Amino acid sequence: MDTKESYAVVTGASQGLGKSFAENLAKKNINVILISLPDQHLKEFSHYLKELYKVKVHYYETDLSVHENVMKLTEWLNQSFEIHILINNAGIGGTKKFTEASSDYINTILQVNVTATSLITHQLLPNLLKQPRAYILNVSSMAAFSPIGFKTVYPASKSFIHSFSRGLHEELKGTSVCVSVVNPGAMKTNKDVCERIEKQGFIGRLTLLNPDKVASYCIRQLFKKDSVIMVNPISWMTMKILPIWIKLPLMTKAIKKEIEV
Nearest C-alpha neighbor of 210 from the set 229, 182, 227, 190: 190
Q: Given a cut of 80, is residue 198 above it in pLDDT?
A: no
Residue 240 is predicted with a pLDDT of: 76
The CATH number of the domain holding residue 26 is 3.40.50.720
Q: What is the mean pLDDT of residues 115-121?
A: 98
Nearest C-alpha neighbor of 125 from the set 72, 181, 178, 167: 178
Min mean pLDDT across 71-85, 183-197, 215-229, 240-254 is at 183-197
In-domain check, residue 255? no
In-domain check, residue 122? yes
Q: What is the mean pLDDT of residues 40-57?
A: 97
Q: Given a cut of 80, is residue 239 above it in pLDDT?
A: no
* Rounded CA separation 92/236 (Å): 21
142-178 per-position pLDDT tens digit: 889 888 999 999 999 999 999 999 999 999 999 999 9
In-domain check, residue 35? yes
Share of the chain above pLDDT 70, in %: 89
Q: What is the mean pLDDT of residues 4-19?
A: 93
Min mean pLDDT across 117-126, 129-138, 236-245 is at 236-245
* Rounded CA separation 156/125 (Å): 24
Nearest C-alpha neighbor of 36 from the set 4, 76, 55, 63: 63
215-228 per-position pLDDT tens digit: 999 999 999 999 99
Query: How far is residue 32 from each of residues 5, 56, 83, 87, 201, measured CA to CA in Å?
Result: 10, 7, 9, 11, 37
Residue 121 is predicted with a pLDDT of: 98
Query: How far is residue 64 from each of residues 15, 127, 154, 181, 249, measured CA to CA in Å?
Result: 16, 20, 16, 20, 33
Average pLDDT, the chain: 90
> Has 154 been annotated as catalytic?
yes
**Structural domains in the chain (count):** 1
Min mean pLDDT across 112-116, 154-158, 207-211 is at 207-211
Q: Given a cut of 90, is residue 191 above it in pLDDT?
A: no
More confident residue, 261 or 177: 177
In-domain check, residue 256? no
More confident residue, 119 or 233: 119
| Domain range for 177 | 6-188+209-236
Q: Given a cut of 60, is residue 234 above it in pLDDT?
A: yes
DSSP annotation of 116: I
In-domain check, residue 197? no
In-domain check, residue 26? yes
Residue-level length of the chain:
261
Residue/partner pairs of 102-111 with CB below 8 Å, 24 or more apart: 106/153, 107/65, 108/65, 109/153, 109/154, 109/157, 110/153, 110/157, 111/64, 111/65, 111/66, 111/67
Q: What is the mean pLDDT of residues 32-43?
A: 97
Q: Given a cut of 70, is residue 183 above it in pLDDT?
A: yes
Q: In what order do the strands lie in the sheet with 6-11?
A: 57-61, 31-36, 6-11, 82-88, 134-139, 177-182, 228-229
Q: Which of 7, 59, 60, 154 is catalytic?
A: 154
In-domain check, residue 89? yes
69-108 per-position pLDDT tens digit: 999 999 999 999 999 999 999 999 888 999 999 999 999 9
In-domain check, residue 154? yes
Q: How far from the centroid of its chain's Cα atoms is residue 216's Cα?
A: 14
Contact 35, 29 (CB under 8 A): no
